Structure 1
Amino acid sequence: MEFLKTHIDFIIIALLGFMGFIAVWCVIERLLFFRKVNLNEYENQESFDDAISENLTTLYIIYSNAPYVGLLGTVIGIMIVFYDMGLSGNIDVKSIVVGLSLALKATAIGLLVAIPSLMAYNALLRKITILSNKFKVHLKSVEK
C-alpha cells in the first residue's frame, strides 16, 4: 500500500501524459498526411479510405479510455485516504477533504486528455468524409 501511496499520482499522470502525447502525435500525423495526399495514387475507394483513416482507431481508444484511467487513479486515491483513516483511527475532516481533492485530480487530468482527443477525432472524421467524397468525384471524372 505504501508503494501505491507514494507513486500512484506519478503512474497515472505519466500514463495519461503518454496517452496525450500519442493523441497529439496521431493528430499531427493525420494533418500532415492530409496536406500531401494525392488522389491519383489510389486505384480504388477502399484503398483510399484505408489510407486516410489510418491512426483514427488509436485516437478513438485514447479518447474513450482516458477518463477511465483518470477514474482508476481517483478510486485508488480514495482507497488510500480511507486506508489511512482506518490506520489512524482518527477522523479529521481536513485531511479527508484534502485527500479526496487530491484524488480527484486524476479524473480531471483524464478528462483533459479525453475531451481534446474527442474533438480532434470528430474533426478528423469530418475531414475524412470530405476527402472520401472528393475521391469519389475524382474517380467518376477519371472514368469519363
Structure 2
Amino acid sequence: MDIELINKITDYGIIGFLGFLSFLTLMFYIERIWFYKTIKLEEYKNKEELEIDLTNNIGIITTTASNAPYIGLLGTVFGIIVTFYIMGQSGNIDVKNIMTSLALALKATAMGLIVAIPAIVFNNHLVRKSEVLIAKWEVLQKAKSEA
C-alpha cells in the first residue's frame, strides 16, 4: 500500500469521520432537546413507553463520546507509522522533520478529544433531563391516582 495513501486516509478519512460524528452528535442533541421541550407527559400511560421515547438516539451520542478518542488515536498511530516509514525509506534522520511529522500525527487525537468532550457533556445533560421528565411523569401519575 502506498504510504501517501495511508497519509491521506489519516488526514481525510479519520478526521473527516470524526467531523461527521461531531455533526451527528450535535444533530441528535438538538433533536432530543426539541423533543424534551415539546413532550406531553400526560399522554403516556406507562413508564416504560416514556423511557423508550426519552432515551431514543442517546445511544448514538454515548457511542460517539466513548469512541471518538480511540478513532483519533488510530489516526495518530497511522501518522506515526507514516513518519517512521518515511524516515526509514529516506535514511535521513532530521529532527525538524520528525518533530513536525509527529506533531501533525497528533492532530487526529486532538480532533477525537474535541469531538468526545462535548458529546460527553451532551450525553450527561440529556440523561439528566430524561430523569427529570420521568420524575415529573411519576408526580403527575401520583396526582392522578390521588384525585
TM-score range, shorter chain: over 0.9
Number of the residue aligned with 2:133: 131
1:84 and 2:97 correspond: no
C-alpha distance after superposition, 1:21-45 (max 9, x if no partner): 0100110000000110001211101
For residues 61 and 136 of structure 1, the distance between their equivalents in structure 2, rounded to whole angstroms, comes to 29
Structure 1 equivalent of residue 47 of structure 2: 45
> Structure 1 regions of 5+ residues with no counterpart?
none
* 1:13 aligned onto 2:7: no
Report if the CA contact (8 A) 2:69-2:112 is conserved.
yes
In percent, how many aligned pairs have the same letter?
Answer: 45
What is the SS of the residue equivalent to 1:138? helix
Letter in 2 for 1:45: K
Secondary structure of 1:137's aligned partner: helix
Residue 113 (str. 1) matches residue 115 (str. 2):
yes
How many equivalent residue pairs?
A: 144
Amino acid at match of 2:132: I
Q: Point out where structure 2 has 5 or more consecutive residues left out of the alignment.
A: none
| Root mean square deviation of aligned Cα | 0.8
Deviation of 1:7 after TM superposition, in Å, equals 3.5
Number of the residue aligned with 1:31 = 33
Q: What TM-score does the superposition give when structure 2 sets the normalisation length? A: 0.95
Q: 1:8: how far off? A: 1.8
The separation in 2 between residues aligned to 1:7 and 1:48, in whole angstroms, is 42
Please list the CA deviations of residues 1-32 of structure 1 after superposition, one character each: whole Å capped at 9, or x if unmatched.
23112332011111000000010011000000
CA distance in 1, matches of 2:63, 2:10: 22
TM-score normalized with structure 1 length: 0.97
| Counterpart for residue 59 of structure 1 | 61
How many angstroms apart in 2 are the aligned matches of 1:140 and 1:44?
A: 12
Q: Contact 2:58/2:123 (CA < 8 Å) preserved in 1? A: yes
Distance of 2:133 and 2:8 partners within structure 1: 49
- Measure the CA separation in 1 of the matches of 2:60 and 2:145: 35
**What do residues 32-90 of structure 1 show as CA deviations (whole Å, max 9, x unaligned)?**
00110001211101101111111111100000000001000000000000000000011
